[in-house]
Amino acid sequence: MSVAKILAANRGEIARRVFRTCREMGISTVAVYSEPDAGEPHAREADEAVLLPGAEAADTYLNIEAVLDAAERAGADAVHPGYGFLAERADFAKAVTEAGLTWIGPSPETIEIMGSKPASKALMKSVGVPTLESVEPEGSTEVGGDVAVGVEADGPVGGEAAEAAAEAVKAAAASIGYPLMVKASAGGGGKGMRVVEGPDLLLEAVEGARREAAAAFGDGSVFLERYLDSPRHVEIQVVGDTHGNVISLYERECSIQRRHQKIIEESPSPAVGEDMRRNMGEAAVRAAKAVGYVGAGTVEFLVQGAEFHFLEMNTRLQVEHPVTEMVTGLDLVHLQIEVAEGAALCDEIPPIDGHAIEARLCAEDPLNDFLPVTGGFDKVWFPEREGLRVDSGVESGSKVSVHYDPMIAKVVAHASTRDRAAAALSSALRNAHIHGSTTNRSLLVRVLEHPEFLLGETDTGFLDRHGAARLGRPLLDAEGERRAAAACALADQALERASARVSSTISSGWRNSPSALQHRAFDGRHGRHDVRYSASAFEDEVLGEVVVVAASAGRVALSVGGVERRFKVARYGDLRFVDSDEGPARLVEAARFPAAEAEGDEGALHAPMPGKVVSVGAGVGDSVAEGQVLVVLEAMKMEHTLRAPHAGTVTAVRREAGDQVEADEVLVVVD
């Protein structure tokens, strides 16, 4: 069978990735998009696009009926699920095939078996793949078939069933021992996962993991698993065809993680030698053959020393698949489509060529517990270099919505050696122009340049060990930011002089005494920068003598201490973004007459970001203890817990479950 038109049942960079391969294969494409995504790149890039009315994922990208209706209306004959949303939903795969469409992925039966982590682990153990000890508590069927600890998807459940479920969870945890991991039985991507150090926080962790899993995957089942302290996370890329062939395309290391989600991935792993590569590859092939796997999938392992343990199998393409493509020269989406059309895999597997590293650039703040950040991007630009690949669902003018994942782009570098790939990727991130919301760029660069990373000494505890606050601090120190502020002042002056010439009006760029110093002030990460300057040179108490080499509205060259540095300056109202080889700066023009700051609420819990209130744990007049959970907020497919800042009495509850809230909105006040 031949595929003529493919609908990508996803959004962002993975949809664009599918469209790129389809164009090369001469296949027509259809995009689906929600109302917040109207006008975004993936919606414009396909040959045709269909609106899924609504904003919430449940109403749009997770709505099987709406997606299939879009496929029918557009005349698509195949569906590519991408990753996330419905990609690992067996009921979606079944609905696609029952609608007479080609499903570009494994069978519904395979997805169902491997989508249940407890069931897949049992199967892996039966075919000789090493696994970690895990357990599903008995009695969980008393509460909707899930380990719910008395909490169903639509609210609390009381009575004997809830108590029995809670006791079952406690008994199961005791049988494994602490620390342990609570994990969602379905899905992946770090959703629905909690590390539990002791019994006191067990039930809270299970409830939170269950809610998060239900929101992300439509399945709130969880199980408990023995927790390994700081192992390596290594996975094997496999591809199977309809003729019973399965091949391994080597490993990827994905140990650099936050919130159990990968942020830097590479291939090959610096810790895997030929013997382990062969053994893990053979184990992954056995795992795939045990379920008759068809299409591209990933078998994930935890590695500690010379031992490896099966973690899970993702029955879809992975976010980090580009590193495999760059070291093998293969197009995995192309392979997926060919396999779905019935083609047999080639026996000859390309050897590993060089090294590839991928960084996930996300709209999030490492200095604020990696909370996602919404907002727009006036400019998104990456340097074009040999060996550099950028897969992005965001471009200049795009917005990051509260409804979806905050990833902006995957930036990938391929080089002959690991050191060169790391240096190329770090340089590309440093020199990219990203004008808009806060991102994790600084953290990515510092990880890539860290001595421990360069030695290949990475594990899942890397960020905890070195501190996100230290790694995530701005790339520019105070002195570097001051140089950027000086460039801003000169660029502003040049713009005003140019405006004065064009408009024949006298602006603030003109002086009847050219030798008199001008003054401008900018606020940055390192505080206020007061710049006093003339058109050619100025003395600065921090920088010393500064010579102006050249200055225009967008480009400035300064000689500071005999070193000439070049800056690119972009203006957006009061905001200034300055890009240079040193790193980026985000500065705000200081107001000449600043308004008095509003007095904040004493003891108030503010929403850290826009989102939806999942639950409120106290009412007005209730006494609460320090650290008690008061509000659970869901945003960007993750849950965020807000706790009482101190012991006291709740004097105000301004929102309730189900409400949508804005960033910094006061939710609860504790006196």
Instruction: Give me the numbers of helices (H) and strands (E) for the chain, helices first please.
Output: 17, 40
- Say whether pLDDT at 611 is over 70: yes
Residue 596, pLDDT score: 44
Is the Cβ–Cβ distance between 333 and 308 less than 8 Å? Answer: no
Confidence of residue 637 (pLDDT cuts 50, 70, 90): low
Using CA atoms, how far apart are residues 552 and 174, in angstroms rounded to an integer? 68
Is the Cβ–Cβ distance between 13 and 84 less than 8 Å? Answer: no
Phi-psi map region of 573: left, alpha, beta (phi>0 left; psi -120 to 50 alpha): left
- Say whether pLDDT at 653 is over 90: no
Report the pLDDT averaged over residues 181-191. 75
Confidence of residue 638 (pLDDT cuts 50, 70, 90): low
3-state secondary structure of 296: strand
Residue 148, pLDDT score: 34
3-state secondary structure of 237: strand
Is the Cβ–Cβ distance between 633 and 661 less than 8 Å? Answer: yes
Q: What is the mean pLDDT of the chain?
A: 88
> Tens of pLDDT along 312-343?
999 999 999 999 999 999 999 999 999 999 99
Residue 139, pLDDT score: 41
Closest C-alpha among 541, 588, 548, 542 to residue 566? 548
Residue 285 tokens read as: 């092939």
Confidence of residue 228 (pLDDT cuts 50, 70, 90): confident
Report the pLDDT averaged over residues 264-276. 97
E-strand stretches of 101-211: 102-103, 134-135, 151-152, 155-156, 180-184, 193-196
Report the pLDDT averaged over residues 426-446. 96
Using CA atoms, how far apart are residues 147 and 135, in angstroms rounded to an integer? 11
> Who has greater pLDDT, 232 or 209?
232
Residue 17, pLDDT score: 96
> Tens of pLDDT along 236-264?
999 999 999 999 999 999 999 998 899 99
Q: What DSSP letter does each residue of 151-168 carry, written as one string? A: EETTEE--HHHHHHHHHH
Residues known to be catalytic: 316
> Tens of pLDDT along 490-519?
999 898 888 776 555 544 444 544 556 788
Burial of 547 (0-12, 13-18, 19+ CB in 10 A): middle
Q: Which of 348-362, 406-420, 485-499, 621-635 has the lowest mean pLDDT?
A: 621-635
Checking DSSP bridges between strand 28-33 and strand 48-51, what pairing results, if any?
Answer: parallel
Report the pLDDT averaged over residues 276-304. 96
> Who has greater pLDDT, 503 or 404?
404
Closest C-alpha among 316, 312, 338, 203 to residue 260? 312
Using CA atoms, how far apart are residues 146 and 157, in angstroms rounded to an integer? 12
Closest C-alpha among 239, 268, 231, 238 to residue 253? 268
Residue 515, pLDDT score: 54
DSSP alpha helix (H) spans, 295-392: 321-328, 332-340
Angle value at C-alpha 270, between 363 and 230, nearest 5 degrees: 65
Residue 162, pLDDT score: 75
Is the Cβ–Cβ distance between 315 and 83 less than 8 Å? Answer: no
Residue 659, pLDDT score: 81
Residue 290 tokens read as: 């045990």
Report the pLDDT averaged over residues 230-234. 94
- Say whether pLDDT at 156 is over 80: no
- Say whether pLDDT at 598 is over 50: no
Question: Long-range contacts for 620-627 (Cβ within 8 Å, ≥24 apart)?
Answer: 620/650, 620/651, 620/652, 620/653, 621/649, 621/650, 622/649, 622/650, 623/647, 623/648, 623/649, 623/650, 624/648, 624/649, 624/650, 624/670
Beta carbons within 8 Å of 513's beta carbon, 6+ residues apart: none
- Say whether pLDDT at 377 is over 60: yes
User: How many C-beta atoms surround the C-beta of residue 216 within 10 A?
Assistant: 26
- Count, residues in the chain: 671
Share of the chain above pLDDT 90, in %: 60
Is the Cβ–Cβ distance between 32 and 7 less than 8 Å? Answer: yes
Checking DSSP bridges between strand 364-365 and strand 648-653, what pairing results, if any?
Answer: unpaired
Residue 298 tokens read as: 């990933």
Domains of the chain, first to last: 5-104 (3.40.50.20), 133-226 (3.30.1490.20), 232-471 (3.30.470.20), 478-589 (3.30.700), 604-670 (2.40.50.100)
Distance of CA 330 to the CA centre of its chain: 25
Torsion of CA 223, 229, 232, 237, to 10 degrees: 0
- Say whether pLDDT at 149 is over 50: no
